[in-house]
Amino acid sequence: MLNTAMEAARTAGQFLRENVGRVRSIEVKQGQERNLVSEIDKGSERKIIQMIKTRYPDHAILAEESGKSGAGTDCTWIIDPLDGTTNFLHGLPIFSVSIAVEQKGEIVAGVVYDPNRDEMFTAERGSGAFLNGQRLAVSQAIALIDGLLVTGFPYDLSTNPWPTIDYFTDFLIEAGAVRRLGSAALDLAYVAAGRFDGYWEVSLAPWDMAAGILLVQEAGGRLSNLTGEPQSIYEKSVLASNGRIHDAMLAVLNASPRNIRR
Q: Which band of pLDDT confidence, cut at 50, 70 and 90, is reported for residue 191?
A: very high
Distance CA 51, CA 42 (A): 15
Q: Which domain holds residue 190?
A: 144-253
Comparing C-alpha atoms, which of 246, 245, 238, 242 is closest to residue 262? 238
Same domain, 119 and 150: no
Contact 101, 5 (CB under 8 A): yes
In one-letter notation, the amino acid at residue 222 is: R
Distance CA 81, CA 199 (A): 22
Distance CA 71, CA 21 (A): 37
Q: Averaged over 41-67, what is the pLDDT?
A: 93
pLDDT of residue 261: 46
Q: How many domains does the chain have?
A: 2
Same domain, 121 and 167: no
Helix or strand or coil: residue 42? Answer: helix
What is the Cα Rg of the chain in Å?
A: 17
The more confident residue out of 37 and 18 is 18
pLDDT of residue 25: 61
Q: Evaluate whether residue 259 is within a structural domain.
A: no
Provide the whole-model pTM: 0.93
User: pLDDT by residue (tens digit) across 84-98?
Assistant: 999 999 999 999 999
Comparing C-alpha atoms, which of 160, 242, 245 is closest to residue 202? 160
Q: Averaged over 3-14, what is the pLDDT?
A: 98
CATH assignment at residue 199? 3.40.190.80
Distance CA 129, CA 123 (A): 4
Q: Evaluate whether residue 260 is within a structural domain.
A: no
Lowest mean pLDDT segment, chosen from 21-25, 26-30, 181-185, 213-217:
26-30
